[in-house]
């Protein structure tokens, strides 16, 4: 019990430190790590073309192909990010705490360095990396790499696993008492080795959404009805897809997140019947770019964690269409395609 209390105090202390450093956004009281967002980024001018220390070029990939089969998107969806933060690996850079998963693809360990100073490690798998792939000026473990520092208190070490569309992995280090990039490289090298040697590190629960590609799942007719037939598709990460056309857009997200006992995601939400006994929660917003979001709980895990499907229909104010009706229609169109929980 004493150890558990100490861990909670440690997490609170580290969260406070990261908030003070402005390397975590959306900070609030408590230790609800699922609500933390990645550290904010800024654009840094790229250096010369990426080369390794030996002078050899890093691995590149063709359109729609990963640089290595081990990093194919369908395989990355089966990677448990917390398994990549192996305790033995983290012991090489300090004193590990407990891992804290956030969603399907991110995991953190709020730990300490060898001297007991706060050291926060976060790894994210399958990120969209449009900026990073353009600025990559280094090589790490044979992959194009990009490093970005924030006020000497944080470092982002990113590697490119696919170039078109751009996907990759990032290790984020929050550390104000030393070089934050050095432990970031060490953790990234260990994570890449695990993926290459072990492959899948998770066995999805029955009915899980984690293996699904949201860009592929919906029928074309369902997408065209929601985003018009001239839509352009934009994947984002491994679990989100957006279609844009004619002053409107549609976002389809599959996520693992905190689920309130009463399903009250927002005080202003309205219940909506999606058919087949599925109850959705609808929330409209106004402004220059009005939107309507419909979400529902697909399945529950333990401790108020569950898998949620979220659909958002939005458009410029001058675009006159029923955003909520569009989101609900899309929801009804994809529901039959989802696995049974």
Structurally, the chain folds into a number of domains equal to 2
Statement to judge: residues 46 and 184 lie in one domain = yes
pTM surpassing 0.85?
no
Q: Residues 302, 236: one domain? A: yes
Report if residue 287 sits inside a domain: yes
Same domain, 56 and 171: yes
Q: What are the tens digits of pLDDT across the range 189-224? A: 999 999 999 998 899 999 999 999 999 999 999 999
Residue 74 included in any domain: yes
Q: Indicate if 129 and 177 belong to the same structural domain.
A: yes
**Where in the sequence is the domain holding 285, given as residue range(s)?**
220-337
pLDDT at 42: 33
Q: What's residue 60's pLDDT?
A: 66
- In this structure, are 182 and 304 located in the same domain? no
16: in domain = no
Q: Is the peptide bond before 43 cis (omega within 30 degrees of 0)?
A: no
Domain shared by 282 and 323, yes or no: yes
Residues 134 and 241 in one domain: no
Distance CA 92, CA 86 (A): 10
Paired tokens of 176: 């104000």
Residues paired with residue 144 on neighbouring β-strands, in sequence order: 139
Alpha helix segments (H runs only) across the chain: 2-20, 73-76, 81-84, 87-90, 130-135, 181-198, 220-227, 323-334
Residues with Cβ < 8 Å from 273, sequence gap 6 or more? 279, 280
- Residue 79 in contact with residue 202, Cβ under 8 Å? yes
Domain assignment of residue 292, yes or no = yes
Per residue in 306-318, pLDDT tens?
999 999 999 999 9
Whether residue 289 is contained in a domain is answered as: yes
Q: Same domain for 155 and 53?
A: yes
Per the DSSP assignment, residues forming a β-bridge with 245 are 248
Low-confidence spans in the chain with pLDDT less than 50: 1-55
- CATH code (residue 245): 3.40.1000.10
Q: What share of the chain is helix, strand, coil (3-state, %, to 5)?
A: 25, 35, 45
């Amino acid at each position: 019990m004493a150890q558990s209390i100490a861990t909670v105090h440690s997490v609170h202390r580290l969260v406070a430190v990261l908030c003070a450093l402005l390397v975590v956004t959306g900070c609030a009281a408590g230790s609800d790590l699922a609500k933390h967002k990645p550290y904010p980024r800024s654009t840094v001018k790229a250096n010369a073309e990426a080369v390794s220390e030996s002078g050899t070029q890093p691995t590149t990939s063709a359109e729609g192909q990963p640089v290595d089969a081990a990093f194919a998107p369908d395989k990355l969806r089966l990677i448990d990010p917390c398994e990549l933060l192996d305790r033995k690996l983290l012991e090489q850079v300090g004193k590990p705490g407990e891992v804290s998963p956030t969603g399907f693809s991110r995991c953190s360990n709020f730990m300490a360095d060898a001297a007991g100073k706060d050291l926060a490690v976060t790894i994210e798998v399958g990120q969209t990396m449009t900026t990073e792939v353009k600025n990559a000026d280094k090589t790490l473990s044979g992959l194009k790499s990009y490093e970005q520092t924030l006020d000497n208190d944080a470092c982002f070490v990113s590697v490119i696993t696919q170039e078109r569309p751009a996907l990759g992995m990032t290790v984020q280090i929050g550390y104000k008492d030393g070089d934050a990039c050095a432990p970031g490289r060490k953790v990234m090298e260990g994570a890449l080795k695990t993926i290459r040697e072990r492959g899948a590190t998770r066995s999805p629960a029955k009915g899980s959404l984690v293996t699904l590609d949201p860009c592929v799942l919906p029928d074309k007719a369902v997408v065209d009805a929601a985003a018009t037939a001239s839509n352009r598709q934009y994947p984002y990460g491994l679990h989100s897809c957006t279609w844009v056309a004619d002053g409107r857009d549609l976002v389809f997200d599959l996520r693992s997140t905190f689920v309130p006992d009463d399903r009250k995601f927002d005080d202003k939400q309205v219940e909506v019947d999606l058919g087949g006994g599925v109850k959705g929660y609808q929330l409209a917003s106004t402004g220059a770019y009005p939107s309507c979001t419909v979400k529902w709980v697909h399945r529950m895990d333990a401790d108020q964690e569950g898998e949620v499907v979220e659909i958002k229909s939005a458009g410029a104010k001058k675009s006159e269409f029923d955003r909520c009706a569009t989101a609900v229609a899309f929801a009804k169109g994809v529901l039959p395609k989802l696995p049974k929980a």
